[in-house]
Amino acid sequence: MNIEQIYTSCLSQASYFIEDSGEAAIIDPIRKVDEYIDKANYSKSKIKYVFQTHFHADFVSGHLTLSKMTGAPIVYGPNADPDYDCIVSSEGDLFKIGKLKIKVIHTPGHTLESCSYLLYNENNEPHAIFTGDTLFLGDVGIPDVAQRYQGTSKEELASILYDSINTKIKPLNDDLIVYPGHGAGSACGKNMMKQTVDVLKNQKINNYALNGSFSKEGFVKELTENLPEPPSYFPANVKLNQMGYEDFDLVLKKSLNKINPDELKEIIKNPKVVLLDTRNKKDFIKSHIKNSIFIGLEGRFAPWVGEIFKDVNTQLVLICDKGAEIEAITRLSRIGFDNCIGYLDGGIKKWIKAGNKVYSLESIKSANFVDVLKMNKVDILDVRRESEYFIKHIEGAINLPLGQIATKYDQIKYKNKLYIHCAAGYRSVIAISILKKVGLSNMINIEGGFNQIQQSNLNDNCYNSD
């Protein structure tokens, strides 16, 4: 028996390769499926099933492509209604993988079709459970309001989830290995652990959904209180997963177009086209094309693209480091952003060599900002999440989370200069690029963000905790 977790950090998402005696199964594959094919070839196994725990909202799955390439049927749990041929299983159905068996456990709540898969070893003993977005480590999946179930409220979904966890998962053996669908950083939960594998015994102690911390009513309140609206691209991803999508290879072929500087100057005259700079933040600060938006591949690239641009049909032209074009297109496709026109051939260097103007951002080191703050009262914009801001922030700083910058920038008021920070210096550069495009000026990026500001001997009296 071989179980491999394939973790995609940019999405905080886990898929799984399970193999035994020449047969394999994949659970919740991402869109580019080469790695699963390679693993099957390496282990000399045939992919027999492609299991889906639910219709994912935060990424486009690779189930259709993988099924087409291998002939393996797609398996969903009860209540699923995809627009393509698949096996819609029933509670308790068993699927054999070599000497192993996988049992369907319907665990609705995150979505109505959500299910978990209980794996039995060759001795017919429960060995592991793949919980998808039902149970995370330290957390549970929030009610997936992105799917907007007609007549089902978030409170009803949370109540159903409580029953699923306490009647279907909690009674299982303590030594069962828990393999969740996401880790810390995913928008599908509130406060997950950094670990991505655990045993059920530890979750019964540390996970509020299993340790008796809340009654059913308390659980529903805890899960739904201050529940944020899902990112705007989530419903489109659900639709793609439910109705179908283009194979990644086709998306790559139509997107991998070289655009020279003269062509780019004509293309960006179209206000619907977004110039997306994916380089390192330091390179963007030093030089970038006017009105380009920075979202670097070094960070949570795809989720921020989705949250900021919202519409998966947004037309994009990429500015990349040499050789990074395929990675950028791949990561865009994971969230359904398939409308990439192409990329600037030769990158920013070729743009400059052709005699075109570039711009820079004003930036200050955290230690130098602290010196400024000790001597002057300045306007500060904190673009971290509200939860980060409430834990601790600089006194007088205004909070406007990055995801809201593009729609609420008119709320930003400042006199002379605006100092902008996030936690570590990535989100602040994204924010400034957005604000520059809408016409704001005199903004200064704080390098290293709040993390380094706290290390720079700023008096504790200068911080507020809410």
Sequence ranges of the domains in the chain: 2-235, 247-353, 362-464
**Do 302 and 10 meet the contact criterion of CB atoms below 8 Å apart?**
yes
Q: Choose the CATH number for 2-235 among 3.60.21.10, 3.60.15.10, 3.40.50.1000, 3.40.50.300.
A: 3.60.15.10
Show the tokens assigned to 113. Answer: 């079709």
Q: What value does the mean pLDDT take over residues 322-345? A: 96
> Do the domains 362-464 and 2-235 match in fold?
no
**pLDDT tens by residue, 14-40:** 999 999 999 999 999 999 999 999 999
Given this model, what pLDDT does residue 362 score? 96
Given this model, what pLDDT does residue 381 score? 97
Q: What is the pTM of this model?
A: 0.91
Q: What value does the mean pLDDT take over residues 158-163? A: 95
Q: Choose the CATH number for 247-353 among 3.40.250.10, 3.30.930.10, 3.90.79.10, 1.10.1740.110.
A: 3.40.250.10
Show the tokens assigned to 65. Answer: 């492509």
Percent of the chain with pLDDT over 90: 83
Q: What value does the mean pLDDT take over residues 130-139? A: 94
Region 362-464: CATH code: 3.40.250.10
Number of neighbours of residue 323 by Cβ within 10 angstroms: 8
Among 339, 334, 402, residue whose Cα is nearest residue 11: 334
For 92-101, 372-381, 451-460, which range has the lowest pLDDT when averaged over its residues?
451-460
Hunting for tokens 């001597």 — which residue is that?
375
Q: pLDDT tier at 150 (50, 70, 90 boundaries)?
A: low
- The answer, yes or no, to whether residue 104 has pLDDT greater than 80, is yes
- The answer, yes or no, to whether residue 188 has pLDDT greater than 70, is no
**Do 402 and 430 meet the contact criterion of CB atoms below 8 Å apart?**
yes
- From residue 46, give the alpha-carbon distance in Å to each of 2, 15, 42: 14, 17, 11
